[in-house]
Amino acid sequence: MPFVSRNFTLSSPMPAYLFVMQTLNINQAQAQRFIHKGCMEINGQALTKTGERICGEITLRVFEPEKRPYDMFAPLVDDDDILVFEKPSGILVHPNTRIAPFSMLDVVRWYGGKDANIVHRIDKETSGLLVASKHKKAEIELKNSFQDRKVFKRYYAWVDGEIKDSFSVSEPLSKNDSFESLKHKALLDPLGKPSHTDFKPIYYDPMIDATLLECIPLTGRMHQIRVHLFHVKHPILGDPLYATSFKISNEYLDGRLSQEKRKLFTGASRLMLHAEKIEFLYGEKRFSIESKINFDKMKYLISSQRILEK
């Protein structure tokens, strides 16, 4: 597990944030965030007040990369500032709990060191290019580039049905706050955040009744491509949250959905969405990286017999 407990004994009182700064060799803001997240215990009790003076038995829950062979994750780009990886489908970008499974952050820290960090997110089930920084300066600059929409991203998606012409979707999106009747994490909402995606068909395969689409998001909302394609009734094949029933979505989220049932009700054994190209400027250097994965050939994962809710 990437989060481990490190135990200390402090005999002389000192501010909690200062102890964390000195022990983990991080700055004050990082130490305060660490404490606010509940990663520090004093004599067995969680502490969240960063300025409280502490002493006694102290436990810090810290992230340490899981030790395992990483040859399959060798970065496509590895320079003094930046790492770029091919993320497989099914692997988390960040650990989502303190007791968490392996994630891409393990890989990033393994190759880039303790200060390396992922600068954007792609869904667990999406495969493809993932960018990370090696130090704080690069992290701040790259995150700002993503936030300011200065990064070009191109995705490929296998979608249900035939699409003949290019089109765009500009439907605002908001996060779903209630999952009692719908497991969608994002929804079309006229009061939501502006969202725009351009789509271009590459080719249609009548044997599986599916189109390979080029998807270019001009904004970066949660599940943007997935929701926009569901909206135009050409959902991404293999999507376990959209274009399927509440029951199937629930089984997927509970880890009870078999591969056979998933292929029948979603059309594929994984989400057929791939981050294929990314372009950005860092300092005076321009990066233009394309995935080495031939996503076209991954259509073997698609079932020609499926039950979708369009």
- Name which of 274, 298, 310, 306 is nearest 129 in CA terms: 274
Which residues have C-beta within 8 Å of that of residue 288, sequence separation ≥ 6?
277, 278, 279
The type of residue at 247 is K
Burial class (CB in 10 A: 0-12, 13-18, 19+), 117: buried
Q: Of all residues in the chain, what percent are helix, strand and coil, respectively (each to 5)?
A: 25, 35, 45
Residues identified as active-site: 123
- Which residues share a beta bridge with 288? 279
Contact (Cβ atoms closer than 8 angstroms) between residue 136 and residue 115? yes
What CA–CA distance (Å, rounded) separates 259 from 115?
Answer: 38
Q: Which of 133, 134, 155 is nearest to 144 (CA)?
A: 133
